[in-house]
Amino acid sequence: MANITLTKLTDNDREQFILDNQRAFKFGAMEEFGRRDDHCEEDGEIISRKTIEHGIDTGAAYRIREDGRIVGGAVLTINEETQHNHLDLLFVNPSVHSKGVGTAAWKEIERLYPETKVWETCTPYFEERNIHFYVNKCGFHIVEFFNRKHPDPHDSETGEEEAYEEGGGMFRFEKVMDHQIPAEKQSEYASFSLETERLMLRPFREEVAPDV
């Protein structure tokens, strides 16, 4: 099996990191819609250069490598005081999709930050691959849905109703690390989380349900 590692992003790789991130996000949108103009931030991109650069400048940026070869990247925000940490960006090159690279990279992130109490991340409502990845592969649970009626109050770019397209939005995920949940409460927590996800995803399932 390939060896997946993380290395800190270097200054001379910054531009390529941005381009790779935009390419990966655009591929995901094309995969879902066949076009991207209804979901773009700027210049036809799903994620803007400004958003990526802000993440790199304020967080911890890594390259994902498969046997030493660059195949993706990640940006994290680490709060040393609370250990409530945030996965800002995670992407892998389309050429290595469905090969376990993303899952292995996430495990490596967890290994690098063992003191984390809670991980948090967000993804657009239309990114079915990402939702599957975070919930079914990485153990996250959906805890909130940001949309026109419930904007994200902590995000300057999406903190207003006008920031969301009609019917669009972002899912917020959390992963409470096992060492933070008493053993006798873990099954109870898992059941509650699964029920929350079922209720949050029901409108989307009903929207695409076939006629019977």
- Span 81-135, pLDDT tens digits: 999 999 999 999 999 988 999 999 999 999 999 999 999 999 988 888 899 999 9
Burial class (CB in 10 A: 0-12, 13-18, 19+), 38: exposed
Backbone angles phi, psi at 123, to 5 degrees: -155, 150
| In the chain, where the domains are located | 1-114, 117-207
Instruction: Report the distance separating Cα 2 and Cα 51, nearest Å.
Output: 31
Backbone angles phi, psi at 73, to 5 degrees: -165, 170
* Three-class SS state of 57: helix
The yes/no answer on whether domain 1-114 falls in CATH 3.20.20.30 is: no
Instruction: Identify the pLDDT of residue 91.
Output: 95
Which residues of the chain, if any, have pLDDT below 50? 36-41, 158-162, 192, 205-212
Instruction: Report the distance separating Cα 178 and Cα 187, nearest Å.
Output: 11
Instruction: Identify the pLDDT of residue 166.
Output: 54
Could you please report the per-residue DSSP string of 75-137? EEE--TTT-EEEEEEEEE-GGGTTTTHHHHHHHHHHHH-TT-SEEEEEEETT-HHHHHIIIII
